[in-house]
Amino acid sequence: MPFPYKHILLVGATAGIGRAMADRFVETGVKVTAVGRRQERLDDFVRQHGEDKASGIAFDITDSKKIPEFVESVIKSFPEIDCIFFNAGIQNTYDWSDPAKLDLDKFNNEINVNFTSFVTLTHAFLPFLINKPDPTSIIFTGSNIAIVPGAPLPAYSASKAALNVFVLCLREHLQKTNVKIIEVSPPPVQTELHDYMGEERGRALGMPLDAFTNEAHQGLLAGKDQIIVGSIGPADIFNEIIDKRRTAFDNLAKMFRSH
């Protein structure tokens, strides 16, 4: 099945999963407008693919006051965008046994990047997507750690769990609209995300990026709305938890619908 969307705004496209997915989309005939803070990497992306297929906008998604202006300018410059891919993310470790040493601003900023900023951006982009005559979608990059939290990563795990719950509810709210809500849930993947461990160790952690990109892209082409790659612990148990929780969620949503 071909990918049904023609122009993607990919937020967090300057490195790792975002850059690899952006390259894959362009190579398969989908236009990409890349977003990230690092202008030189956006320029590199546009140089590689050409201005007819690729464009870049430098933006820091934590700059919440500028989100309305950012969204307005995206819609004005690229009214044909029909898919928004929220992929940006950061990860750090924290130890709550010594609160005096804990950097609370850093902790809250991580939740802002990974969760709150996407809520604000979704709110700002939704009227534009809903009012389009054709099918549109929002893709979120979650994490398998949303389901089984990693103890040294409380901000990351909590933000991805919150994002996963938001995505489930959002999908239910939009079921009668033209906006499809898709979640891609990666296992550890070899990117810059774990650079806090040291570049050499961090970038060797997890699944090779190309293998992940293949699997995630296949899931999108298959039209899935929840693409789980890999697992935490045995795959059968992990997938059973996810499937049973989704069924329980859907049953509860049906009950709410009938009231």
Summarize as ranges the residues that interact with ligand NAP (CB under 6 A): 12-18, 36-38, 41, 60-62, 87-90, 113, 141, 143, 186, 188-189, 191-193, 206
For every residue of 56-103, DSSP letters joined together read EEE--TT-GGGHHHHHHHHHHH-TT--EEEE---------TT-GGG--
What are the DSSP E strand ranges found in 122-258?
136-141, 179-185, 226-228
Q: How far is the CB of 88 from ligand NAP (least distance, A)?
A: 4
Please, what is the minimum distance in Å from the beta carbon of residue 99 to ligand NAP? Answer: 25
DSSP strands (E only) in 173-255: 179-185, 226-228
Closest approach, Cβ 5 to ligand NAP, in A, equals: 19
**Which CB, 136 or 143, lies closer to ligand NAP?**
143
User: 126 vs 153, which CB is nearer to ligand NAP?
Assistant: 153
- Reported as type and span, the H/E element at residue 34 is strand 31-36
Tokens linked to 46: 């546009």
> By C-beta, is 44 or 192 nearer to ligand NAP?
192
Whether residue 113 contacts residue 35, with contact meaning beta carbons closer than 8 Å, is answered with: no
Nearest approach in angstroms of CB 207 to ligand NAP is 8
Give the residue at shortest CB distance from ligand NAP: 16
Nearer to ligand NAP, 41 or 132 (CB): 41
